[in-house]
Amino acid sequence: MSGRENKTGPVESASRRSFLGAGSAAIAAAAFGAFAAKGQEREDKQMGQQVSGWAHILDGKVAVVTGAARGIGRAAAIALARSGAHVAGIDICATVDPHSGVTPSTRQNLEETGALVKAAGVRWRSLVIDQRDLPALRGAAAEIEREFGAIDILFANAGIQQFKPLLELEDPDWNITIDVNLTGTANAIRAFGPAMVKRRKGRIIVTTSTQGQHGTLFGAAYSASKWGIIGLMKSAALELGKYGITVNALVPGLIDTPLTRHEERYAQALEVGAKTPSGDVHKDEEAAKEALKAKSPLGVPWIEPADVAPVVVFLASDAARMVSGATYDVTAGDSANNAA
């Protein structure tokens, strides 16, 4: 039983006692328990731990995570590790798109993910690779198999985003978004899939976006790449099912990562609501926060990466063995606006 279960167990029984009409001591215990549970919840969130109840669900499995240096990749790597999987984390750790407002990740970021993974008591390996480089990914697959003995899980998650009106896009803007997001995700499946085919077992999870389910103002290349990833995922699910491999897509809403926390992104969020950005990053961040909160069904401007990670753990587990070719949304309610 995990530490978190230990803490929430008495809370539940105390609540039940007070509901049954026990004295004030029980009510006080329930109140304290609820307070303690809230504190633990907050702590878990900060630590990127939302799945402590699944401590052994992936025991001994080997997971490859791309875009592992930070953000969603880091949160998923930690959650996979805390569920028992060894993790190989891949990231470019460098500037990818000079025209994007997103701060590049660093080797130190990747090592920080490694430290958090290792703290869960599992093995970690970091690999600095550009996912556009298929031979390098294939080399990594051979290395990971040699070192860990297998590859059970692939979370193909790395991606980039830039905003520019479609008619102003230069060839490099279009090409880099499609190359990194769509071709890079396909490369990861092509590089790590054969290890799963060999063992007739595997779990592949790719990261798309709500912007792969609808159009995006000033984000045509990104939207196109993310729609493409859904087609890629469904085709791979058809082809790989006979080898016992499932392929599914994570659909994050707006997640609090460096990808979304910069001036260009705040301006786009305001322009979607027909508001004019001021050009002052702090003012625009506040205005974007209010606008995003107002249109979120759960009243959340940005979702924590740790709130996305449990879906990756579920899809990677045996519990999801009959789930393939599907999309799983974590959008704080935005999915309610989609047709289906």
Residues that bind ligand NAD (CB under 6 A): 66-67, 69-73, 91-92, 96, 102, 105, 130-132, 157-161, 180, 184, 207, 209, 252, 254-255, 257-260
For residue 224, what are the contacts with CB-CB under 8 A and spacing of at least 6?
Answer: 177, 178, 182
Give least dist CB 162 to ligand NAD, A.
11
Strand order, beta sheet including 124-128: 124-128, 86-91, 62-66, 153-156, 202-207, 245-252, 327-330
Helical residues (DSSP H) of 128-215, grouped into ranges: 134-148, 171-177, 184-199
Phi, psi of 17 (to 5 degrees): -60, -45
Whether the Cβ atoms of residue 270 and residue 276 lie closer than 8 Å to each other:
yes
Of 40 and 105, the one with the shorter C-beta distance to ligand NAD is 105
Identity at 297, one-letter amino acid code: P
Give least dist CB 118 to ligand NAD, A.
19
Of 180 and 320, the one with the shorter C-beta distance to ligand NAD is 180
For residue 211, what are the contacts with CB-CB under 8 A and spacing of at least 6?
Answer: 219, 222, 223, 226
266 flagged as catalytic? no
Of 139 and 258, the one with the shorter C-beta distance to ligand NAD is 258
From the candidates 222, 243, 266, 328, give the one annotated as an active-site residue. 222
Give least dist CB 93 to ligand NAD, A.
6
Of 69 and 245, the one with the shorter C-beta distance to ligand NAD is 69
How many Cα atoms sit within 13 Å of 198 on the Cβ side?
A: 12
Give least dist CB 136 to ligand NAD, A.
10
Of 71 and 193, the one with the shorter C-beta distance to ligand NAD is 71
Give least dist CB 207 to ligand NAD, A.
4
Whether the Cβ atoms of residue 250 and residue 328 lie closer than 8 Å to each other:
yes
Please identify every residue annotated as catalytic: 222
